[in-house]
Amino acid sequence: MATATAIAHPNIALIKYWGDLIPELHIPANGSISMNLEALCTHTKVSFDQALQHDDLVLNGKSMQGEAHNRVSNFLGRVRNLAGLSLFARVESENNFPMAAGIASSASGFAALALAASKAAGLELDEAELSRLARSGSGSACRSIPSGFVEWQAGHEDHDSHAHTIASANHWDLVDCIALVDREEKPISSSVGHALARTSPLQHARVVDTPRRLDICRTAILERDFNKLAQVIELDSNLMHAVMLTSTPPLIYWQPATLSIILAVQDWREEGLPVAYTIDAGPNVHLLCPAALQEQIVSRLQNLPGVRQVLTSHPGGPAVLDKPYASSESVSPAQNQA
């Protein structure tokens, strides 16, 4: 039996990935930039075991079947192909954040799985190779492999579509205050959303303008220019949600409380507070602010109607191996990917 355990953080997209050039490979229509979320993590153990007759997935202590299991099993198939292995694996994965909170766990999930499964299979992948592998599970997972502030270069095919660090986690002490909003409607998966993106007449304009927004966002991060960052991330989030709203059928992730938070953030900025919003494929609103403002923003958020809970996180590090490699086979010891 060969086992490895890895930890990865989810990330919040500052410039969004929405729509694919090649859907099967998750080659995106545009590049994107994100920040890893240190306080949130997925912890995943993978064991290739000759006693198993099929792959097993246990998520937060619950044995999974159906769609979630198939996605993980297909992913393990790719790892087996790369390593020339035929053994099935048991995958045990836990998130330290509530799934019901509506924070996407697929990015940290597939990043941790890519690292743990490749190590357990005896592969020594570098950061770009791991990022590509994670991308094949869920596009945005490629950004949870490198550390800190990360850019995913869109590329055109499998080998040139991967992510790298543009600034380390300690480069800029920003905090993401995540306002969790009540959700009544069933979530629509991002894979369905990516496929709908091309039905919006706005998607082409959004994609064509992305290199400009990427440049502004990258520069704002490197220069720690909060105003520049605030303007570009709000524009980018609004553009993605404009595409969603104008897809056929339209995709509406916002709840009334989502809009109330957006309006509150506009008022707070007019008051002079450095705070900016961004929203992924759900109703929750991420508020970025300098760490010194965290307490004030959290308490203001808690006073808004419809805000159920507020989570906070500083920028996070890369996907890392958790425990030394444990194997009865003679494979070289694992090292952290720090």
Binding site for ligand PMV (CB under 6 A): 13, 16-18, 32, 104, 106, 138-140, 190-191, 194, 280-281
Q: Which is closer to ligand PMV, CB of 3 or CB of 30? A: 30
CB of 157 to ligand PMV, least distance (A): 18
Q: Which is closer to ligand PMV, CB of 134 or CB of 298? A: 134
Q: Which is closer to ligand PMV, CB of 240 or CB of 293? A: 240
CB of 286 to ligand PMV, least distance (A): 10
CB of 323 to ligand PMV, least distance (A): 27
Q: Which is closer to ligand PMV, CB of 22 or CB of 52? A: 22
Q: Both tokens of residue 290?
A: 């300098």
Q: Which is closer to ligand PMV, CB of 194 or CB of 213? A: 194
Which residues 6+ apart lie within 8 Å of 24 measured at CB? none
CB of 90 to ligand PMV, least distance (A): 25
Q: Which is closer to ligand PMV, CB of 191 or CB of 296? A: 191
CB of 211 to ligand PMV, least distance (A): 16
CB of 16 to ligand PMV, least distance (A): 4
Residue with tokens 């869109």: 154
Which residues 6+ apart lie within 8 Å of 115 measured at CB? 4, 6, 8, 130, 134, 145, 319, 320, 321, 337
CB of 189 to ligand PMV, least distance (A): 8
Q: Which is closer to ligand PMV, CB of 104 or CB of 113? A: 104
CB of 34 to ligand PMV, least distance (A): 6
Q: Which is closer to ligand PMV, CB of 189 or CB of 219? A: 189
